Amino acid sequence: MDEELKQAYAVLGLSENADREQLENRYYLLVRRARAQKMREGGDQSGAERVDEEAISRAYRFIKDYEESKAKAEFTEQNYGKYKKMAGRAQKWDHFLHYYKFHIIGAIILLIAIGYGIKSYVDHRHEQAELAKLPPANLAVMFYGNYFYGDGLSPDTKPLAEDILKEFPDWQRVLAELTYVPSDTKSEQDIALLQKSMLVLMTDKSDLYIMDKANFAKLATQGALQPLDDKSGIEPALAMKAKTEEDTSERVYGVDLSGTKMAEELGLHGTEFVAGIRVSAKHPDEAMTYIQHYEAKK
């Protein structure tokens, strides 16, 4: 191999220490010279001084192949020499990871998604099983408006439900939810929260809504609340009236509990609290009992 390499360099008229740039420059110079000579002599192949283009190309390719093989061997030794007899396998594994890394990452993500889906399903089944053990709810309350309770905009409302239940010893269970509705939309977050609150209303099945006055006006005029004109015991000063799109006569749809002790006792932060019963409430009598209970607490 060394003798053939020396001969290749000799054909090109180069020293064995020539670098890549010198090799490229010398090769293209000799090729141009050979082609120019061929054109001048009209294809005559005789002459002792003729530059042999084929010999030049063979020598050039030999040197290039030798350098590439040498560089590859050095790279392999540098990166995989530490594996010794296992170097070949290590190199194959490295190449496999290089060419199929995105497939592997995709497979890992898919497995994580499947695992998450299975866990969510199991957790949901477990939650449903635990709920089935509980007694049926006597009342479901939704606090819907510019309200704060606990920490953050999505607080744990179980303590709120427990505090309500303490006020009604005859009941077994109360459900309580809080949906924050910004009074003004000054930012993208406010717009997102407003859109979220509208989606909540589309799926909510609460019996009783506790609202600020702006949201009471919206729900009452849209026909989402029951009329309370026939309910006894509502103080006229606390009655909140509205007109719906279908009924243009003004009727009572809410009771103003803002001046009562409800917010203080339940730990709610807000300034306006209007109670209204959802038009298709499952427990309208219990909802009215709640209203009258706090109406009396001034």
Instruction: Classify 201 as helix, strand or coil.
Output: helix
Q: How confident is the model at residue 44 (pLDDT cuts 50, 70, 90)?
A: low
Residue 45 has pLDDT above 80, yes or no: no
- Residue boundaries of the structural domains of the chain: 2-82, 136-295
C-alpha to C-alpha distance for 159 and 155, rounded to whole angstroms = 10
Structural contact between residues 141 and 266, judged by C-beta atoms closer than 8 angstroms: no
Q: Kindly list the distances between the CA atom of residue 16 and the CA atoms of 61, 136, 168, in Å, as whole numbers in the listed order.
A: 15, 93, 100
C-alpha to C-alpha distance for 50 and 142, rounded to whole angstroms = 100
Q: Name the most confidently modeled range: 21-30, 41-50, 213-222, 230-239.
A: 213-222
**CA angle at residue 279 from 194 to 185, to 5 degrees?**
10
pLDDT given at position 64: 86
Instruction: Classify 205 as helix, strand or coil.
Output: coil
Classify burial at 194, counting beta carbons within 10 Å of its beta carbon; exposed 0-12, middle 13-18, buried 19 or more. middle
pTM for the complete prediction? 0.58
* CATH placement of domain 136-295: 3.40.190
102-151: pLDDT as tens digits: 777 777 888 888 888 888 888 778 777 776 677 899 999 999 999 989 87
49-68: pLDDT as tens digits: 556 888 888 888 888 888 88
